[in-house]
Structure 1
Amino acid sequence: MKLSDIIASLGVIILLVAFLLNLYKKLEANSRAYCAMNFIGAAMCGVSSYMISFYPFVVLEGIWAGFALVSFIKVSRGT
């Protein structure tokens, strides 16, 4: 397994765990943990996509990570 595969797998796991925790009401979508998990997972997927030169997903995951980071900052500030 290549490093890009490991990074992508961990990123996807983080994203899916956040989604499932939210789905089962264990983690609110406006919580710092949820926003952080979305940012970290999307960033990892974006990095792995860059490593394999799959640029459509670099764009997708970069935008996802950007919005998750903005949400994390807003939640942290209480706004």
Structure 2
Amino acid sequence: MIITVPDIIGLVGVACVVVTYFLTQVGRMSPNEPLYPAINAIGALMILVSLYYRPNPSSVVIEFFWLVISVVGLVRALGKRSR
């Protein structure tokens, strides 16, 4: 198996999502801070880039929703910050 640039982008995206989830579970990152949804959105976007080159419909759907939900969370977190 040859690892391509899109594969590496996708793997970095997976690392972003998994690490942020782990850090919230061990109390090292707050899901209410803008950094959490921002990193999740970046991770989902990177995974979607890799899926563009090797499509999998189910994965595209879940990552699309992950990205949308992360953007909603980011907007909410930034809104709370500005108050």
TM-score (normalised: structure 1): 0.91
Are residues 1:10 and 2:17 paired? no
Counterpart of 1:21 in structure 2: which amino acid? L
Contact 1:47 1:58 in 2 (8 A): no
Structure 1 residues without counterparts, runs of 5 or longer: none
User: In structure 1, what is the Cα distance between the partners aligned to 2:71 and 2:36?
Assistant: 11
Are residues 1:78 and 2:80 paired? yes
Counterpart of 1:64 in structure 2: which amino acid? W
Counterpart of 1:61 in structure 2: which amino acid? E
User: In structure 2, what is the Cα distance between the partners aligned to 1:58 and 1:37?
Assistant: 18
Are residues 1:62 and 2:64 paired? yes
Larger radius of gyration: 2
Shift of 1:7: 0.8
User: What does 1:40-55 correspond to in 2, within 5 Å?
Assistant: 40-55=42-57
Shift of 1:55: 2.2
In structure 2, the residue corresponding to 1:64 is in which secondary structure?
A: helix
Report % sequence identity.
29
Match among 20, 23, 28 for residue 22 of structure 2: 20
Q: How many residues align?
A: 79
Alpha-carbon RMSD across the aligned residues, in angstroms, is 1.3
User: In structure 2, what is the Cα distance between the partners aligned to 1:45 and 1:67?
Assistant: 15
Structure 2 residues without counterparts, runs of 5 or longer: none
Structure 1 stretches of at least 4 aligned residues deviating more than 2 Å after TM superposition: none
